[in-house]
Structure 1
């Protein structure tokens, strides 16, 4: 599991006084940086490998400005060319949002999906839920 701490910003707070729902997918993506690094160590978009295919978000509890949140990211499943992540956001020890993201290992030059290399597969396995 990867854990990323995020400090909510005032600009992410909506008129109802909680963090806007459009912010949650952005925070989930921030929790994926270590996974992106496995596939593209230099973070070069010329060599980018992780292409998102699908994402879901379930809003469980409100999140507020003024208290940090923890984004927790696990690997749920590893396929031949794709993988599924399970993600949660917690504030004050309370589960506030959860979701999944499906990514494919994609070669931008050839415009084709490719098998996940064994060395990356082994790294992903270390973070299985």
Structure 2
């Protein structure tokens, strides 16, 4: 909570991360795709806070893929608190090779997986 009794902005980033991790580590792994587990980093976040959120609140995050490039892709999110749109956000994600510490390209199987989640 912040000084005004609202959920702190950092907590929203945690909720978005949880949605992202569920998609790239959970759903992707269940589909047989392990590349994201081997390395992926956030290159950029863009967040629009639309409504303050107070506790208690029922929160839901909707997530989809907005764009797929050669070496990055963009997740888009809408966060609802008590069924009211409270936040819109985007995260640019970059597949990453942890051995070389360098970005890598989106593979064909990764692209096919991500395309299922475009709007």
TM-score by length of structure 2 reads 0.85
Q: Return 5+ residue gaps in structure 2 as ranges.
A: none
- Work out whether 1:33 is the aligned partner of 2:33: no
The whole-number CA distance in structure 2 between the counterparts of 1:98 and 1:79 is: 21
- Work out whether 1:107 is the aligned partner of 2:94: no
SS of 1:32's equivalent in the other structure is: helix
Match for residue 96 of structure 1 among 83, 86, 91: 86
The whole-number CA distance in structure 1 between the counterparts of 2:107 and 2:118 is: 17
- Work out whether 1:120 is the aligned partner of 2:99: no
SS of 1:100's equivalent in the other structure is: strand
Structure number with higher relative contact order (C-alpha < 8 Å, ≥ 6 residues apart): 1
More helix per residue: 2
User: 1:99 and 1:60, CA in 2 relative to 1: closer, same or farther beyond 3 A?
Assistant: same
- RMSD over aligned Cα atoms: 2.0
Task: Say how many residue pairs are matched.
Answer: 114
The whole-number CA distance in structure 2 between the counterparts of 1:126 and 1:36 is: 13
The whole-number CA distance in structure 2 between the counterparts of 1:66 and 1:50 is: 33
The structural deviation recorded for 1:103 is 0.8
- Work out whether 1:69 is the aligned partner of 2:59: yes
The whole-number CA distance in structure 2 between the counterparts of 1:67 and 1:42 is: 35
